[in-house]
Each structure stands twice: as structure tokens, then as C-alpha cells.
């Protein structure tokens, strides 16, 4: 049996009911919301470990809801979507989702994604004691804080975990598959769009000139490399 508090956000009552029943049977404490606005209210009032968020809701859509959640919370977010195009996947990740799964999905796959998200978040929260300084940026791995020119910069849990892994392997080109499996889990390896989105987001937050990065470098067709050089 597992544990954790999950918020299911979907405008289809049947899906909410099925997910509540299935997740509860696995030991999770499950709450649900039928709109984005209702979900934001629940997150203001209660603490959750993970949000399952439908991308295609009426009213406030999943992408907008995800962005609003990310403005104030680092909770893990898995987006549920009926579309499987790369454009939709990238949009979900760009909005702040940690992962996505395409409907219809099997419960074993969903449970595996949830366990991976919660396990990775737990490992991330354990932190480390190292503080790294780049040009105008201070990265405190223990406190999970990033300061850019003295101003705190918010990183999502998955952004921080990706950065943390790259920092732990300086000046080494890490292949796409290895990086995906290290950060997202062993079932990943082909989802290069994950890395493209998250690395671009990190560059905007820690690079002086994101279009000409000096620390988060792309090795074309191979992977990514972190160069810690200070100035």
C-alpha cells in the first residue's frame, strides 16, 4: 500500500469516480474537483502531494489551471490529455506539468507514473548541502532555492531535479535517455521533448543570456552538458 494526498481535477464525473476508487484502493487519500477554479481553491485550503489535471476541461482549461498552480505551488502535476501530438505534450510541460499521460490509459501505467512522481519528489526534498554560484546566480541545493541577482527564482520540483542531476555530473555529456531515466524514471527514454522544454525553462532562469547559454549546453543529437564555470 502507498500513501499520499492526490487531487483529481476533471470535468467528467465518471473519470473522477473511477480515479477516486482506484487510487483510494491503493492507499492514497483522494480529493476531486470538477473545474480549474475549484481546484485552485482546494489547493489554497489544503496540502496535496500530487495533482492529476485534465487538459481539456470546459471553462478554465487545464493549461491555464496548471500555470496558476505553478505560480504559487511546487506540487507534482501529471496532465491527463486525450491528444497525443508533440505540440500538446510540449504545451503541457511548458505550462508547468511534470508529466502527462494520454487517455485512455491503463491504471497500472497511471499508478507507475504517480509512484515515480512522488518518489522523485521525495528524493528531491531530501536535498544536499552544496551551494553553487554561477554568474549572478546562487543555487542552494539543500534549501532548494535559486537566487538570481539577489531575487528568488521559482523552480518547479522537476526543473530543480533536472538541474540538480546536471550539477552532480559537471562537464559530462549526459545522453537523452540516461537523463530522462535518471529524472523521470526507468520507463522513460524516448521523450526528448521533455528535456527540450525543461532545459529551455532552466536557461531562462539561470543563464544571463538564455539564447547563448554558458552553463546548460546542448550536445546536438546526443544530450546535455552542465558547465559550472564562474565569472
pLDDT tens digits for range 31-43: 999 999 999 999 9
Q: What is the pLDDT of residue 2?
A: 59
Instruction: Give residue 121's pLDDT.
Output: 56
Q: Where are the domains of the chain?
A: 5-125, 128-226
The pLDDT of residue 129: 47
3-class state of residue 203 by DSSP: helix
Helix axes 157-167, 107-126, angle to 10 degrees: 60
> Which CATH code fits 5-125?
3.40.50.2300
pLDDT digit string (tens) for 162-194?
998 999 889 999 999 999 998 888 888 888 888
CATH number of 128-226: 1.10.10.10
**Measured on CA atoms in the order 110, 100, 163, 189, is the torsion positive or negative?**
positive
**What pLDDT does 231 receive?**
41
The pLDDT, as a whole number, for residue 29 is 94
- Relative to beta strand 137-140, strand 145-148 is antiparallel
**Stated pTM of the model:** 0.76
Give residue-wise pLDDT tens across range 200-209.
999 999 998 9
**What's the rounded Cα separation, in Å, for the pair 76 and 70?**
10
Q: Which among 25, 70, 73 is positioned nearest to 48, based on CA atoms?
A: 73
Dihedral sign computed on CA atoms, order 104, 110, 114, 120: negative
CA 229/CA 219 separation, integer angstroms: 17
In tens, the pLDDT along 89-139 reads 888 888 889 899 988 889 999 998 898 888 765 554 544 447 788 888 888
pLDDT over 90 at 71, yes or no: no
121-130, 192-201, 218-227: least confident range: 121-130
pLDDT digits (tens, 9 = 90+) for 143-164: 778 888 888 888 888 888 899 8
Can you give the pLDDT at residue 120?
60
53-70 mean pLDDT:
92
Helix (H, G, I), strand (E, B) or coil at 62: helix
Amino acid at each position: 500500500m502507498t500513501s499520499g494526498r492526490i487531487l483529481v481535477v476533471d470535468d467528467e464525473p465518471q473519470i473522477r469516480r473511477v480515479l477516486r476508487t482506484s487510487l483510494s484502493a491503493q492507499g492514497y487519500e483522494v480529493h476531486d474537483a470538477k473545474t480549474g477554479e475549484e481546484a485552485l481553491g482546494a489547493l489554497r485550503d489544503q496540502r496535496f502531494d500530487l495533482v492529476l489535471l485534465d487538459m481539456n476541461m470546459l471553462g478554465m482549461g487545464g493549461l491555464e489551471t496548471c500555470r496558476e498552480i505553478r505560480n504559487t505551488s511546487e506540487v507534482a502535476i501529471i496532465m491527463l490529455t486525450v491528444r497525443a501530438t508533440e505540440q500538446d505534450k510540449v504545451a503541457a510541460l511548458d505550462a508547468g506539468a511534470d508529466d502527462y499521460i494520454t487517455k485512455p490509459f491503463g491504471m497500472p501505467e497511471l499508478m507507475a507514473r504517480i509512484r515515480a512522481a512522488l518518489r522523485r519528489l521525495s528524493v528531491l526534498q531530501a536535498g544536499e548541502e552544496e551551494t553553487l554560484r554561477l554568474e549572478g546566480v546562487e543555487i542552494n541545493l539543500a534549501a532548494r532555492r535559486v537566487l538570481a541577482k539577489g531575487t528568488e527564482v521559482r523552480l518547479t520540483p522537476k526543473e530543480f531535479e533536472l538541474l540538480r542531476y546536471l550539477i552532480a555530473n559537471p562537464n559530462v555529456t549526459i545522453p537523452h535517455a540516461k537523463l530522462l531515466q535518471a529524472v523521470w524514471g526507468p520507463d522513460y527514454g524516448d521523450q526528448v521533448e521533455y528535456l527540450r522544454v525543461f532545459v529551455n525553462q532552466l536557461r531562462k532562469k539561470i543563464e544571463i543570456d538564455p539564447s547563448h547559454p554558458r552553463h546548460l549546453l546542448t550536445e546536438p543529437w546526443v544530450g546535455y552538458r552542465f558547465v559550472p564555470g564562474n565569472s
